[in-house]
Structure 1
Amino acid sequence: MDNKKTVVHDGWDEYASKKIYQHRGKIGVGRSLGFGVFSMFSISMQGLVGAWLLFFYTTFCGLSAGQGATIFLIGRVADAIASLVMGNISDNIYKYKIGRILGRRHIFILAAAPSVLFAITLWVAGMSYWYYLITYVITTVLMSVLQIPWETLPNEMTKDYNERTTMSTVRMVIAGLGNMLAQFVPAQLFRFYPKTSPMPYFIMQVMFSVVTFFLILITYKTTWEHFVSKNEAKKLAAQALEDNGGKKGGLKSELRNYFSTFRIKSFRTHMGIYLSSYFATILWSTTFVYYIVFVLGKTTSVSGMLQSLSIVSVPVTILAGYIVTKISPRSLYLFGYSLILISCIDWAFVGLTKPAGVMIWLIAGTLCYEIGLYILYFVPWNVFPFIPDVDTLVTGKNRAGLFASVMVFINQISQGLASVVAGYLLDIGGFRQSSGGAVSQPASATHMILFIVSGGVGVMILIAMFFASRFHLSKKTFTVLAAELTRLQKGGSMKDVDPKTKQTCELLTGVPYDSIEFWRRNDEKPTTPVKTDTPTKH
């Protein structure tokens, strides 16, 4: 007798057995590496850009700082709009056969591999403003829209706090190594070419893009996602119709969904932290090479060498991954931000006084900044996978893709504005552009550079500290919320909630527990059928 199951070729559930939908056991460091190497995608597409592209534009392409900043803004706005749509596309592409065959997340991970090669076009010197605008817009849009589905994988691969923390830690270690290489590799290349040659920038992008192409394929092969069954899809469609008053969702309902993410208090506070702190990092990364070259009179190799001290990100991220399971993210945030503030004071002191042993001061300031920076990078992405679960308690839905889209959308607008602020402040300061290498700058320009890298960064970090002091999501509070969510998902009554659990849920969601509508259905009794005298026919 043939005991094999009969495969029903229905164009839907027949794909549930595909490898990309199969949970493959406990997630440790090894599996997390498979997930984390995709971090090199954003390093290759934007990491090099953040550190070197504006400097490349103003010293080898004949663009003003304002023109370069405008390119960044236009690219970020286009990117933000595309990103906002992308989460919804990724969440819903399972409705189409190709999405079920290739995976609603993995289809985009696969597309990222060839896309990373396009970034090479950014680093061609001597082209027109329109060339640089078009190549930047395409590159930045590809980076964000293809990264969003990957961001949702921890939420789908595991619900365990420690496993998610391992994934985030490994991811950030790899990102830290990538960022270090984005400084170290150019610094070495600069030694083999004259200061007037743009070739080192082109070569570094080719190297990063080719390596990343193969790393993305590793992520595709070693990760998995949740399969939306035909039955689950029907329930989701019915719920969507109910939410829209029996009508199919349109633009208005989609916009309402996006804005509804801010109903969640933890997400609102998270975005305040994320935006202000990342705004600060863009100001710093955009202007630090200018600070080294024009304020202190050092070479670009010195800038690259100093920024390659980001190698400290490896032990810092590993340590942060352990500490965040012991203390609250809020405490870790405040410690990291304090170190960045110390570095801001250091930049101002060195720039104004030019002390003896300037390199010692620069190394000390850079170490403080890099340690604080990687705490700044690590904590938001460690925290983010838990926020959709907070939302699920309120809505009953898994909207991880939607949250990722909104987060990227607002971040891209913020980063675009930060680049514009930096670029136009340089123009206001009288910065002189060139197409043949660095030229001498007036005092007004060097003073403006010093102001941005110390005062501008410092102010934004203080704002981030304000939001961080009001952030309450931690391992302890999430464990309480997750247990309550599981209880409700198993049919538990809202009336039976423990008072302390209720208080914790309200603290994280910002929504009164008793006002949550979705789980009231657990308390609804099935209607008893009305008996009639008509006999039942057999």
Structure 2
Amino acid sequence: MSNSASPAVGRKLSWVTKLTYALLPLSFTMTTMVMTWQMIYYTQPLAISIGIVTTMLAVGKAIGGFITPIWGYISDRMYSTAFGRKVGRRKGTLLIAAPLNLIFYVLLWVPGMPVWYYLLVNIIYYGVYPGINTVVYSLPSEMTDDSKDRAQLVAVQQIGGGVGGFALSMFNAYLFKIWGADSWEPYFKIAMIYAVLGTVLLVIGALCIKERPYDETTDISSADKGSDEKVGFFGRLVSVFWNFLSVLRIKTFRNYLGIYLSQMTFRTVRGQINAYFIMFVLLLTPAEVSLSTGFSFLFGMVCVVIWATLITKLGGMRAYRLGSWFTIVLFVGIFILGLTHGSMPKATVTLVFTILITLFTLGNSGIVNAQTYVQSFVPDVDELVTGKRREGQYAGIQSTLEVIVNTVVTILVGVILQAVGFQSGADVKTQSPLVVNVLLYMYCGTVVVLALVGILLTYRMHLNEKTHDILVGESARLRNGGSMDDVTEETRKVVEDLAGMPYEKCWGHNNVINVSNKA
């Protein structure tokens, strides 16, 4: 291993670096447009059957999900190329993915095309987009080892996304008001605006990020090769999926995975049917959908600052539990509103829902910030296990899981709504009472149940600020040439608890990266 400590260890980041990093999540307005309006666009103005739409989107996301692990693999190993060593492994990946993302994002919104066209474009789009979010997910861990800086980067990431979401929602409300929402043209023109703006922000943000330099800990290809001089195509293919699966051997990642999946699933379900809930259950208009969402994003920016402070004081898991309990209480309130809105004036329903969904942002912000904060520490456990820095590996896995969750949710939402008689292109007041009730119970019940599951899982997570400091200190000691024989008993216990394997099997003495490694 290298005889000098990684320059990332203890490195403090300037606020200029942190703020330019915010441009990356700010560019996610493109993705927000897809998540919020793509299904509405296909089923309402284009009047494609919801069964066809959900099946098509599910297939696209599923196939794209199989491609996703490759992006994390490529990002970690970009230093093995001349381009990567010159530009940077994370920066280089972003600059490759950005133009591809732009092209296929635009093609998603072309109207009047056959179903096979939308299927093909969605497959490619969902295969390209992870090249961006795998890098963005990896950067808090990539850019610094300082806990406070990581918490601030997570906060900045959420603020950037909040600003983008708020701007999109407010701007959409204005454009829908002047252009209408009954034809395909407004959706197409709005999508094109975000295509240009999002890509510009993405490229600028990519050029400003900081990352770990090329050294032995970031030279992942050396671990891939082992005693071989070269790894062929088939070997690379095996390595991609071996690296994807072998991380499950790391105990901390398994615990984190349960927490991530529970919150990701309920947020995806809510996001998938949010517009339907507001339009068909609360009987509000598309403009009011955007306005309600917009207020929650605006308040979310304040919430992120609050949670960034709380997380450094309470720790990631206690902050996660606090946000989850708050979310549960609010969705019980939204459920009651869904049952009683018929006896209220429309203006009152709009006001009450806006207040509740805005307050939900406080709980949701705590959940997301705490989960993302803890996720930034998982690669540190992996480094102690493998002796390598593989932020991209975990970001790629998380992106794949995001695609899988989206796929499963898309299928289930489509199957359920079609089974209960949802009518594509129908007036908001002509959906059956059964459809309305199903939307109400899906929207509120999923959040409450899975938030409770997440709370229970946090008690199994032992990666906190104290154990993290011990872990990082041991990695630095070994990186500086220290002997594994000199480990203290306290450190051994912490490492074995977090890694889920004997201490002697850590620091590359395993086959977590390379299945053929006999060490």
Q: How high is the TM-score relative to the length of structure 1?
A: 0.85
**Deviates most, 358-367 or 285-294:** 358-367
- By how many angstroms is 1:453 displaced? 0.6
8 A contact 1:173–1:313 mirrored in 2: yes
- By how many angstroms is 1:517 displaced? 6.2
Q: Return the alpha-carbon distance in structure 2 between the equivalents of residues 349 and 385 of structure 1.
A: 37
- By how many angstroms is 1:105 displaced? 2.0
Q: Does 1:380 align with 2:371?
A: yes
RMSD: 2.8
The one of 117, 120, 123 equivalent to 2:106 is 120
Q: Does 1:56 align with 2:47?
A: no
Equivalent residue, structure 1, for 2:4: none
8 A contact 2:107–2:121 mirrored in 1: yes
Q: Does 1:482 align with 2:466?
A: no
Equivalent residue, structure 2, for 1:370: 361
**Cα displacement string for residues 441-499 of structure 1 (whole angstroms, at most 9, x for unaligned residues):** 11111111112111123222222222223222222221121112212222333343333
- By how many angstroms is 1:291 displaced? 1.4
8 A contact 1:87–1:402 mirrored in 2: yes
Equivalent residue, structure 2, for 1:147: 133
Q: Return the alpha-carbon distance in structure 2 between the equivalents of residues 111 and 82 of structure 1.
A: 15
Q: Does 1:66 align with 2:47?
A: no
Equivalent residue, structure 2, for 1:177: 163
Q: Return the alpha-carbon distance in structure 1 between the equivalents of residues 286 and 161 of structure 2.
A: 22
8 A contact 1:82–1:145 mirrored in 2: no
**Cα displacement string for residues 107-144 of structure 1 (whole angstroms, at most 9, x for unaligned residues):** 22223443453323323444332232233223222211
Q: Return the alpha-carbon distance in structure 2 between the equivalents of residues 243 and 423 of structure 1.
A: 50
Give the AA of the match of 2:307.
A
Q: Return the alpha-carbon distance in structure 2 between the equivalents of residues 148 and 243 of structure 1.
A: 29
SS of the residue corresponding to residue 371 of structure 2 reads helix
Q: Return the alpha-carbon distance in structure 2 between the equivalents of residues 120 and 517 of structure 1.
A: 45
**Residues 199 and 136 of structure 1: CA distance in aligned 2, closer, same or farther (over 3 Å):** same
Equivalent residue, structure 1, for 2:323: 336
Q: Return the alpha-carbon distance in structure 1 between the equivalents of residues 366 and 239 of structure 2.
A: 37
Q: Does 1:512 align with 2:502?
A: yes
**Residues 150 and 243 of structure 1: CA distance in aligned 2, closer, same or farther (over 3 Å):** farther
- By how many angstroms is 1:151 displaced? 3.2
**Residues 160 and 287 of structure 1: CA distance in aligned 2, closer, same or farther (over 3 Å):** same
The one of 169, 176, 186 equivalent to 2:172 is 186
The one of 313, 324, 327 equivalent to 2:300 is 313
The one of 68, 71, 74 equivalent to 1:86 is 71
**Residues 350 and 139 of structure 1: CA distance in aligned 2, closer, same or farther (over 3 Å):** same
Equivalent residue, structure 2, for 1:419: 410
8 A contact 2:72–2:393 mirrored in 1: yes
8 A contact 1:157–1:225 mirrored in 2: yes
SS of the residue corresponding to residue 318 of structure 2 reads helix
Equivalent residue, structure 2, for 1:351: 338
Q: Return the alpha-carbon distance in structure 2 between the equivalents of residues 31 and 407 of structure 1.
A: 24
**Cα displacement string for residues 294-349 of structure 1 (whole angstroms, at most 9, x for unaligned residues):** 11221111111111122111111112122211112111111111222123212221
- By how many angstroms is 1:176 displaced? 1.3
Give the AA of the match of 1:173.
I
- By how many angstroms is 1:200 displaced? 2.7
- By how many angstroms is 1:401 displaced? 1.7
Equivalent residue, structure 2, for 1:215: 201
**Deviates most, 200-209 or 384-393:** 200-209
- By how many angstroms is 1:257 displaced? 2.2
Give the AA of the match of 2:476.
T
Unaligned runs of 5+ in 1: 1-20, 521-538
Equivalent residue, structure 1, for 2:430: 440
**Cα displacement string for residues 257-309 of structure 1 (whole angstroms, at most 9, x for unaligned residues):** 22121122221121211122111111111112111111122111111111112
Q: Return the alpha-carbon distance in structure 1 between the equivalents of residues 420 and 440 of structure 2.
A: 11
Equivalent residue, structure 1, for 2:444: 454
The one of 502, 511, 536 equivalent to 2:492 is 502
8 A contact 1:282–1:419 mirrored in 2: no
**Residues 107 and 495 of structure 1: CA distance in aligned 2, closer, same or farther (over 3 Å):** closer
Equivalent residue, structure 1, for 2:381: 390
Q: Return the alpha-carbon distance in structure 1 between the equivalents of residues 51 and 447 of structure 2.
A: 19
Equivalent residue, structure 1, for 2:517: none
Q: How many residues align?
A: 495
8 A contact 2:61–2:122 mirrored in 1: no
Percent identical among aligned pairs is 27
- By how many angstroms is 1:59 displaced? 0.9
Q: Return the alpha-carbon distance in structure 2 between the equivalents of residues 384 and 266 of structure 1.
A: 10
**Residues 111 and 493 of structure 1: CA distance in aligned 2, closer, same or farther (over 3 Å):** closer
**Cα displacement string for residues 408-447 of structure 1 (whole angstroms, at most 9, x for unaligned residues):** 112211121112211221111100012x875721111111
- By how many angstroms is 1:175 displaced? 0.8
**Residues 456 and 177 of structure 1: CA distance in aligned 2, closer, same or farther (over 3 Å):** same
8 A contact 2:134–2:392 mirrored in 1: yes
Q: Does 1:42 align with 2:61?
A: no
- By how many angstroms is 1:383 displaced? 2.3
**Residues 206 and 88 of structure 1: CA distance in aligned 2, closer, same or farther (over 3 Å):** same
Q: Return the alpha-carbon distance in structure 1 between the equivalents of residues 165 and 364 of structure 2.
A: 11
Equivalent residue, structure 2, for 1:100: 85
**Residues 52 and 343 of structure 1: CA distance in aligned 2, closer, same or farther (over 3 Å):** farther
